[in-house]
């Protein structure tokens, strides 16, 4: 495909890339039971693996182009209780769908936000969890 064909192909308005499936594809929000059942089916498939996204929303200042779900603050102490909640959410998943804990974790993406807003110690605690 030539460069001009590529430009023609991709020079179109598209949804923001930060969610998959993208927002226009979203239908009805699943119930908790539907979501956990779907997760259980996915992780118990043969050769299943997980890609994990952890949203760390904090930034010290707001970029002019930001469209992310972010919390602007210079109070770095806020990262600790947030990490506690993320780890509690993980425990909820592990209790509801134990097979999640046995599935290979192939990718971890820390997004935000600015992941380095958290201290190295705090990030290590989160990733260890
Ligand atoms: S989330 Fe990203 S784009 Fe938004 S303010 Fe923070 S660093 Fe900037």
- What are the tens digits of pLDDT across the range 82-122? 999 999 999 999 999 999 889 999 999 998 899 999 999 99
**Percentage of the chain exceeding pLDDT 90:** 69
Mean pLDDT, the chain, rounded, equals: 90
- What are the tens digits of pLDDT across the range 64-76? 989 888 999 999 9
Nearest CA to ligand 1 atom 3: 66
Is residue 40 within 8 A of residue 101, CB to CB? The reply is: no
Nearest CA to ligand 1 atom 4: 66
The DSSP bridge partners found for residue 52 are 108
Q: State the DSSP code for 30.
A: P
Q: How far apart (Å, rounded) are the C-alpha atoms in residues 113 and 116?
A: 9
Instruction: Kindly give the distance from the C-alpha atom of residue 74 to the centroid of ligand 1, in angstroms, as a whole number.
Output: 14
Q: What confidence score (pLDDT) does residue 17 get?
A: 63
Residue 96 has which token pair?
């509801």
Q: State the DSSP code for 20.
A: S
Q: Is the CB of 114 under 6 A from ligand 1?
A: yes
């Amino acid at each position: 495909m030539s460069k001009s064909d590529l430009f023609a192909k991709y020079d179109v308005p598209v949804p923001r890339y930060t969610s998959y499936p993208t927002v226009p594809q979203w239908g009805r929000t699943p119930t908790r039971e539907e979501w956990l059942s779907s997760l259980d089916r996915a992780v118990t498939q043969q050769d299943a693996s997980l890609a994990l996204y952890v949203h760390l929303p904090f930034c010290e200042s707001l970029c002019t182009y930001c469209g992310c779900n972010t919390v602007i603050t210079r109070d770095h102490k806020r990262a600790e209780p947030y990490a506690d909640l993320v780890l509690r959410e993980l425990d909820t998943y592990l209790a509801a769908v134990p097979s999640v804990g046995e599935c290979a974790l192939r990718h971890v993406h820390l997004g935000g936000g600015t992941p380095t807003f958290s201290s190295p110690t705090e990030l290590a605690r989160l990733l260890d969890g």
